[in-house]
Amino acid sequence: MTGRHSRGQRSRAHGARFAAALLLVCGLVGCGVSDSGLQRDTAHRLQELVLGVTQAAAMNDHATALTRLDNLQAEVELAARSGRISEDRRRSIMANAAALQADLAGLVDAAAEAAMAAEKAAAAAAAEAAEVEKAKADAESATNAALTQEGTAPAQVAPAPPPAPEPQQGKGNEGKGKNKND
């Protein structure tokens, strides 16, 4: 946790802003009537591109979502140059796409930072484990050296012998033979 908000809370806040920006872009692209400043076939094409951005974002593949958003922005620019979209509509879509792009870039950066932090933590844990193993080996070597210097070698512990079988609780030879009443 950092600050007052947990990672999950920040993620939900990013997700809410991301969804709002995506809805704005979808809403701007979604209308297909000619008086809206967007031709119907162009609207359908842009809707397909927005769907690609949405699907990538829904799968938390923010890098792909950014690439697809770049494609959407390029298509909007091309449509504006060819007269299939009005300048007002182009500006509106591009402004919302830029806000969405900033959110996606922030998510990509946050994921990269988290991965780097996890990698550093794993390396630190591995280094600590190696240090502990080295300390154990050094302590064992020091103990062996001290015992050798005293003239005694470290005791070799022999395994314990197996337990002796218990004597049988039978009669043995009693009651057998000639002198039963002795």
pLDDT over 50 at 46, yes or no: yes
Q: Which residue has the tokens 């337990």?
A: 163
pLDDT score of 18 more than 90: no
Question: Which domains can be identified in the chain, with CATH numbers?
Answer: 11-113 (1.20.1440)
Which has the closest alpha carbon to 25: 86, 87, 72, 78? 72
Tell me the whole-structure pTM to 2 decimals. Answer: 0.51
Q: Which pLDDT score, from 0 to 100, does residue 172 have? A: 60
Least confident interval from 38-42, 46-50, 81-85:
38-42
Q: Under a CB-based contact definition with an 8 Å cutoff, are residues 50 and 26 in contact?
A: yes
State the Cα–Cα distance between residues 49 and 128, nearest whole angstrom: 49
Residues 46, 31 contacting (CB under 8 angstroms):
no
**In the prediction, which pLDDT does 78 show?**
94
Measured CA distances, 121 to 10, 115, 116 (Å): 22, 10, 9
User: Please, what is the angle between helix 87-149 and helix 40-58, to 10°?
Assistant: 20
What whole-number distance in Å separates Cα of residue 5 and Cα of residue 69? 29
Lowest average pLDDT, out of 7-11, 60-64, 77-81, 87-91, goes to: 7-11
The dihedral of CA 13, 14, 17, 20: what is its sign? negative
* CA gyration radius, the chain: 39
- pLDDT tens by residue, 71-121: 999 999 999 999 998 898 889 889 888 888 888 888 888 888 888 989 998
pLDDT at 37 over 80: no
Tell me the per-residue pLDDT of 138-172, one tens digit each, with 9 for 90 and over: 888 888 777 777 665 556 667 777 887 776 666 66
Is pLDDT at 36 greater than 70 in this prediction? no
Decide: 24 and 89 in contact? Cβ < 8 Å: no
